Every structure is written in C-alpha cells, then in structure tokens.
Structure 1
Amino acid sequence: MSEEILAPLSGKIVAINMEIGASVEEDDEAVIIEAMKMETPIYVPCDGTVKEIKVKVGDSVEEDDVIAVIE
C-alpha cells in the first residue's frame, strides 16, 4: 500500500533528503520547505521505499500538494 507525503504548508522546496528507490523509516527527514524565511522539515510518515518524488529543489508547493510517494 502506498502512502503520500503531503506539504503541510505553502512554500518553496529547499532540500530533498531522499532518492527514488531508497529505503526510508518513519520520521526520517524527507524534505525541507521554506516559508516566510523559516525552514520546516517534512518527515516520512511510514517505513518503506521511495517510489516517486514529485518535486525538485526550487519548486513552490501549496498546502496538501503531494511531495512524494512511499510504498
């Protein structure tokens, strides 16, 4: 079963700390979003493998946009 990592707020992607095919564990830092000059880490919601990354550094995201898919 797949689980999506969603953006909790609007902002710009400043770092991606995972790659497709990598094994990840719950609470690993997946990406960092910058909003209003503050950086907010987004964490992996479950153990699994990164199936898809839907953003790249510099992309702007809105709240609830899908950032990545964990399988």
Structure 2
Amino acid sequence: MKTSTITSEITGTVWKIVSRVGDTVDENQDLVILESMKMEIPALSPERGTVREILVKEGELVKEGQALVIVEQA
C-alpha cells in the first residue's frame, strides 16, 4: 500500500496530536496542531486513509520539513 508522510510546514511546537494510530482519516482532516508565535497551524491529511505512525509527541519542538505522521492511503 502507498503511504504519505505529513511534514511540518513551520518550525514550532507540537501543541496537540488530534489523531491516533489506526484512525481512519479523511482528506484535509487535522492530524496534528502545531503552534508558532501564538498561532495554531494544522497539519492535514493529504488523502483518505489510515494513520500508521505518529512520529512526534505533544510539546516537542519540530523543524520545518520534519516528518510528523505517516498515513496509508485507503
């Protein structure tokens, strides 16, 4: 099966992890919420699928381009 790696668009902090491993997600569904300079930026699923791996923890500092979540396409 094909997988997609969702990456951070910014350098910031993982504010909240919205999804869990095994969750079925829709296209454009929030997976992780990042925080930078008091702004909340969602990391979205690019397609419908299943969350296979979450690569970060809440409170973790992430860099732009860092892998956050792996989604297996439905």
Q: Residue in 2 aligned with 1:59?
A: 60
C-alpha separation between the residues in 1 aligned to 2:3 and 2:43? 17
Provide structure 1 residue ranges, at least 5 long, that are not aligned to the other structure. Answer: none
SS, match of residue 49 in structure 1: strand
TM-score normalised by L of structure 2: 0.92
1:36 to partner: Cα distance: 1.1
- The 5 A counterparts of 1:1-71 are 1-71=2-72
Overall identity of the aligned pairs, in %:
37
TM-score normalised by L of structure 1: 0.96
SS, match of residue 34 in structure 1: strand
Provide structure 2 residue ranges, at least 5 long, that are not aligned to the other structure. Answer: none
1:41 to partner: Cα distance: 1.3
Shift >2 Å, 4+ stretches: none
Cα RMSD over matched residues? 0.6
